[in-house]
Amino acid sequence: MRHTLPIAPQFYVTAPQPCPYLDGRMERKLFTALQGDNADALNNSLSQQGFRRSQNVLYRPSCSDCAACLSARIDVSKFTPTRSQRRTLKRNSQFQRRATSPWATEAQYDLFRTYLDSRHADGGMADMDVFEFAAMIEETPIRSRVVEYTDPANKELIAVSLTDVLTDGLSMVYSFYTPDLARNSLGTYLILDHIQIAIEANLPYVYLGYWVPGSQKMGYKANFSGLEVYTGGQWQSMTDPDAFDANRHPLSSDPIAEQVANIQLPDTRPTT
């Protein structure tokens, strides 16, 4: 009888490149491949340790002289909408939500291009073509959904979120929306609606990606009550955003070998 042992994931580090959040800083990522029969278990385990998914890769910031990026999630049991957020929900209540399998469409790509050209024309995804977009949506080895929002009046697609379904929550991998409805605060609305989806599915968290103190691009995430950030190897409630300083000390990051040694991997041994 032949037995095979599960292969532990291998971790790698990207070459440094300019940080998209803090001027004058260089970013570096620790990453591993997401593949095989244990992809779901690995994604769940590492997401709870501050990792994010991009196609078939899981990554986490591992900058050599900075530890400012903090993974963020909302504890839906502690979330209470503000007056402004309640207005946002009411303002967008006419839109219809539809969750589908991760399959790219021309309408999604057209909206994606319009969003990038308006909001992130100089960003890292600005040159993404239709094939790369399809790969971003469809290359997922885990349970993922495309959540579309349409205007029933004209059947127009107004917002899309690529969302992973974890054992303990929803992870908003990437979202985009029409820039023509600036007054509607669609970015905030997508998060609010995902909180509602999580409540309906009895899931405790909505994962938002990274929050960076001092970065205007990420400041909106601090507006949600119940927010937690992953720092010091654990999730901590963020009661006061100003209490979290962007940690830019050159000794703030542990050596790579130490970071990898402290990662908790899922137990994928077969039960007897």
pLDDT tens-digit profile of 94-139? 999 999 999 999 999 999 999 998 876 566 676 789 999 999 999 9
Residues 3 and 190: their CA atoms lie apart, in Å, by 46
Q: Which two tokens stand for residue 226?
A: 């119940």
pLDDT at site 268? 63
Name the region of 80 (left: φ>0; alpha: ψ -120 to 50; beta: rest): beta
Q: Which two tokens stand for residue 237?
A: 């409630």
Q: Which two tokens stand for residue 130?
A: 């239709």
Residues 143 and 140: their CA atoms lie apart, in Å, by 8
pLDDT at site 269? 57
Residues 184 and 176: their CA atoms lie apart, in Å, by 14
Which segments of the chain have a pLDDT < 50? Answer: 1-5, 271-272
pLDDT at site 251? 52
Q: Note the pLDDT tens digit of each residue in 60-103.
A: 988 887 888 889 999 999 999 999 999 999 999 999 999 999 99
Q: Which residues pair with 206 in a beta bridge?
A: 74, 170
- Options 3.30.428.10, 3.30.43.10, 3.40.630.30, 3.20.20.20; which CATH number does 72-243 get? 3.40.630.30
- The full set of domain ranges for the chain reads 11-69+247-261, 72-243
